[in-house]
Structure 1
Amino acid sequence: MKLIVEKNHALADGVRLIALRAEDGTLLPAFTPGAHLSFAIPGTPLHREYSLTGDGDASATYEVAVLAREHGLGSSWMHALRPGDVVEAELRNAFALEAAEGGHLLIAGGIGITPILSMARRLTRDGLPFSLHYASRNAANAPFAGELAALGPHCTLHGGRPNSLRTKLGSVLADPHAGARLYVCGPRAMITAVVEAARSAGWAAERIHAELFEGTLAQPEDKPFDIELSLSGMTVHVEAGQTMLDALTAAGVEPLHDCKRGECGMCVTPVLAGEPDHRDRYLSAGERAANKSICVCVSRARSDVIVLEI
């Protein structure tokens, strides 16, 4: 869809809030909280994804908050947008808020607050129970701190470095209600800590929902494996806590890639032998079952060796 930039202003140190409206002035489509816009970067084949912060109702504008990243092509372009600029974006959701009869526990770190804020706004609008914990290195300058405080005392901001939430995860996640759902978004280290603490506290795996900005979370069953590259004859070792893409890049082989989230399909690579462990959001169910291709940015191998056409 074509969107027009309505405003672009500083929200916090290094963070800009960008509001967009429909090119034809109509209401923008409703969405399920947790959704993001995938922006096409002009002059490149690349896309960058930024979470929507609204409650999901059809509205005149969409809003995204973009953190500046060193050498970040997407954030540099987004920060430079001016009112009146036209952008191309697609509405997607791989982190959708689901109903929870036992309430929702929302946890965010840093700019990971953006999809979590959307969820909090929807749950508040619908009068549904939830609690939210937001970790920020600088509580005085945390994006959306005021908006969350206005939602009520069940929204808690944890500041400091390291933030105080890390030491409280045991109590925050203790005694999960059977019908509750946990949603967490933020830096990989924080998400890993939250997911591990939730598993230890007895949260059911299907009730834990996490979104990273890049890659996927390590799983307890992950093990090292080797990638054999059929075209070059190289063998690349992948450690349990390493992505295929990182291992290939470290070995001097850099496949075409973009999102590092398993969404864009740019890194799809033919599989000649071995059993993939698909963790992408791009391949269809049929393509996964065929095991003839793999998204190397996020997926792994279940077999000791996987042979790729690289």
Structure 2
Amino acid sequence: MDQFDLTVTDIQAETALIRAIMLARPHGEPLPSWEAGAHVKVRLPDGGERSYSLINTSLDPAATTRPHAYRLGVRLEQPSQGGSQFMHALKVGDVLSVAAPRNNFPLEPASKPIVLLAGGIGVTPVLSMATTLAASKHPYRFIYASRSRDQLAFLSESEALCGEHLSVHTDDTAGIFDVKGLMTSLTSDEPLYVCGPKPMIDTAIQSAKDLGWADGRLRFEIFATAAPLAGDQPFEVVLNSSGKTFLIPPDKTILAVLIEAGEDPMHDCQRGDCGICQVSVIEGTPDHRDYILTDAEKAAGKLMQICVSRSKSPRLVLDL
């Protein structure tokens, strides 16, 4: 993956917890093109990486075709695992190592009107989608939900861009947004794109099953990394190609342990929703925690996403 240095050229406080950060090459040279839903990976001082969606609210195609800057929206997580603290401590002039854009959440061609739902910081890729749809004059609806109005980042830009296509929901005045209610109201097979916190995604996935939606009608991206669950136990992972054995503690993922040991497994999102880290399971029983595999694939136990899933058995042998 291409890696290059970018300079912080501007920082704006969008809310008390969300900052908009502009990045550019030192002399303003064009950057790789991207499409709505794409993200870049930022290298952290400890060698780790964090993914941040790219934001565009300009109807000018040049804004994403060989652009001269990238714009990110970063929420300060509490508690933070280090990425958001680092990003919020940046100053204009600081230099970051950034990977070229990748897109695991693209807008797909559609004949129907498209419905967009953003929760909190999930607005970042969804706002870029709204921009693309507005520029192409494709019919769409954009619902932006948050706990309160003062937590709605990029709101003025969303209102200016989307006009009557935008609906704003705040939990403090209207209660928690009814995801299933929205989905039940969509009776013409409209595609739904959702990005937001894990409970919102989980509700959307279960609602799609309950309502009998066709595969692919619901598309989503989750903004939450893997977190330990109560009762998680250590287990061993064996790499079939080399026979190397690794102990996976309760507070670390398989992927994290392998990377720390100098292995180089393919990966991207580290949230279980892109499928790039998927591996075959030769022995053992996975504990699936991803958003990629079907119920049948999970039951078969032959595949797993090593960025989030764990093991129900004391030992896993993986095709790595």
Q: With structure 2 as the length reference, what TM-score do the two structures score?
A: 0.72
Displacement of 1:228: 5.5
* One of 57, 72, 75 as aligned partner of 2:64: 57
Matches within 5 A, 1:7-156: 7-42=10-45, 44-54=46-56, 57-58=64-65, 59-72=67-80, 73-90=82-99, 91-150=101-160, 151-156=162-167
Call closer, same or farther: CA 1:145–1:89 in 2, change over 3 Å: same
Call closer, same or farther: CA 1:168–1:296 in 2, change over 3 Å: closer
**What do the CA deviations read for 1:219-271 (whole angstroms, capped 9, x no partner)?**
xxxxxx9986378xxxxxxxxxxxxx8x9339xxx946796425999x99995
**What do the CA deviations read for 1:71-91 (whole angstroms, capped 9, x no partner)?**
421111111111222111112
Q: Identity of counterpart residues, as a percentage?
A: 33
Conserved 8 A contact 2:194-2:220: yes
1:229 has 2:236 as partner:
yes
Q: Which amino acid aligns with 1:174?
A: S
Conserved 8 A contact 1:102-1:181: yes
Displacement of 1:162: 8.1
Conserved 8 A contact 1:269-1:309: no
Q: Which amino acid aligns with 1:127?
A: K
Displacement of 1:97: 1.4
Conserved 8 A contact 2:171-2:177: no
SS in 1 for 2:117: strand
Call closer, same or farther: CA 1:263–1:83 in 2, change over 3 Å: farther
Counterpart CA distance in 1 for 2:250 and 2:38 is: 31
Q: Which amino acid aligns with 1:108?
A: A
Structure 2: give runs of 5+ residues left out of the alignment. 58-62, 227-231, 239-247, 261-268, 293-301
* One of 193, 204, 208 as aligned partner of 1:194: 204
Call closer, same or farther: CA 1:7–1:230 in 2, change over 3 Å: closer
Call closer, same or farther: CA 1:122–1:164 in 2, change over 3 Å: farther
CA RMSD across the alignment: 3.7
Displacement of 1:278: 9.5
Counterpart CA distance in 1 for 2:151 and 2:77 is: 17
Displacement of 1:17: 0.6
Structure 1 window deviating more from structure 2 (268-277 vs 116-125): it is 268-277
Call closer, same or farther: CA 1:21–1:130 in 2, change over 3 Å: same
Name 1:181's counterpart in structure 2: 191
Counterpart CA distance in 1 for 2:184 and 2:273 is: 30
Structure 1 window deviating more from structure 2 (13-22 vs 138-147): it is 138-147
Q: With structure 1 as the length reference, what TM-score do the two structures score?
A: 0.74
Counterpart CA distance in 2 for 1:141 and 1:64 is: 16
Counterpart CA distance in 1 for 2:90 and 2:8 is: 7
Structure 1 window deviating more from structure 2 (79-88 vs 193-202): it is 193-202
Call closer, same or farther: CA 1:176–1:205 in 2, change over 3 Å: farther
Call closer, same or farther: CA 1:122–1:308 in 2, change over 3 Å: same
